[in-house]
Copies of this chain bind each other. A is one copy, B any other.
């Protein structure tokens, strides 16, 4: 197998495939990145000629179609897939480039990432349990499609078939528009007074976390799904302007309705692990910020036989301590509360 492009995704794929015993060659136009990816993944360097069965194109989206076009010519027997987070525009580019033999081409989008990028940040298990959307073009053969489904499964991902249009519509909603909104909201902090910003808490921190994503990569992604993202972003802008109008008009019913709709919208998110949302309870514990306190906390929970459904650490301003919020099934609350109190944890209640 050949992986072209040795960023976070390409190197993680190479690493995962090597770990599972595959013979993998890699290639990158940047020699330093290539070296890092080889050292990190254990893959061999591609000599530019060696024929392979499967090529994974993990270059930035703006060059993906061109890279695929070359490979169609130089790798006449290989199935070729890519990993870019836009699908319709890649296929449109391939058509514009008059690429023949589209039967061997399968679109792919492993829905995994990190806020850090580059080969050095690669993880062999980056894709485990993540969705990996796989798309056909009108000519894609069933055999080529199965090859990419198997690739995703081999790396521990969950292969999910979507059409090009379905994919781009979905990611505009759940990924691209949230990215634009988080970035625009975060940019409001740029001109703000220091004494205003310093009051910020966990709510804002979570809301704009993804604003730290790579601007170069995201510029390409958004450009590749421009129409769909623009439509969604325009809808958000319209709804925000409507809330602003309602606020100025003292139209409290409309403001309230917007808040209720937001809460209902959030309720549509899949629950933990995609299973049905359970009713869960939370318990808060205060910790000293020193080695061992978290360990002790979780050890107490484990000894009590309580499974933690979720853990959030809420940082405090100005002092070296933190509040830990534990989410558990309701019947475990009292068990955990007693266990923690007996172990001298200060908070709970």
| Contact (Cβ within 8 A) A189 B131 | no
With a CB–CB cut-off of 8 A, which chain B residues contact A230? 244-245, 247-248
The yes or no answer to A219 lying at the interface (CB within 8 A) is yes
Q: Does A233 belong to the interface (CB within 8 Å)?
A: yes
Find chain B residues with CB under 8 A from A272 CB: 315
Question: Provided the pairs A124-B349, A230-B244 are in contact, do residues A317 and B262 lie with their beta carbons within 8 angstroms?
Answer: no
The answer to the question of A302 belonging to the interface, with a C-beta cut-off of 8 Å to chain B, is yes
Which residue on chain B has the smallest CB distance to residue A292? B302
- Given A133-B199, A207-B181, residue A301 in contact with residue B306 (CB < 8 A): no
- Bound complex: CA of A192 vs CA of B270, how far in Å? 13
A170:B196 contact, CB within 8 angstroms: yes
Contact A307 B295 (CB under 8 A): no
Task: With both chains docked as a complex, state the minimum distance between the C-beta of A72 and any C-beta of chain B, in angstroms.
Answer: 27
Nearest CB in chain B: distance from A301 CB, A: 6
The DSSP consensus for interface residues of chain A is: helix
Contacts of A210 in B (CB 8 A): 203, 206-207
A124: which of B184, B209, B347 is its contact (CB, 8 Å)? B347
A259 close to chain B: CB less than 8 A: yes
* Copies of the protein in its oligomer: 2
Measured between beta carbons, the chain B residues less than 8 angstroms from A198 are: 270, 274
Known contacts A128-B316, A130-B317, A197-B268, A184 near B296 by CB under 8 Å: no
Instruction: Indicate whether A171 sits within 8 Å of B189 (C-beta atoms), given known contacts A247-B229, A255-B219.
Output: no
Measured in the bound complex, the distance between the Cα atoms of B219 and A250 in whole Å is: 11
Jot down 13 A-B pairs with beta carbons below 8 A, ordered by A. Answer: A40-B349, A123-B349, A128-B316, A173-B192, A189-B265, A206-B206, A215-B263, A219-B259, A237-B240, A274-B319, A291-B302, A299-B299, A311-B311
Name A's B-contacting residues (CB within 8 A).
15, 40, 111, 114, 116, 122-125, 128-131, 133, 158, 160, 162, 166, 169-171, 173-175, 177-190, 192-193, 195-201, 203-213, 215-216, 218-219, 222-223, 226-227, 229-241, 243-245, 247-248, 250, 252, 255-256, 258-270, 272-275, 282, 284, 286, 289-292, 294-303, 305-308, 310-311, 313, 315-323, 346-347, 349
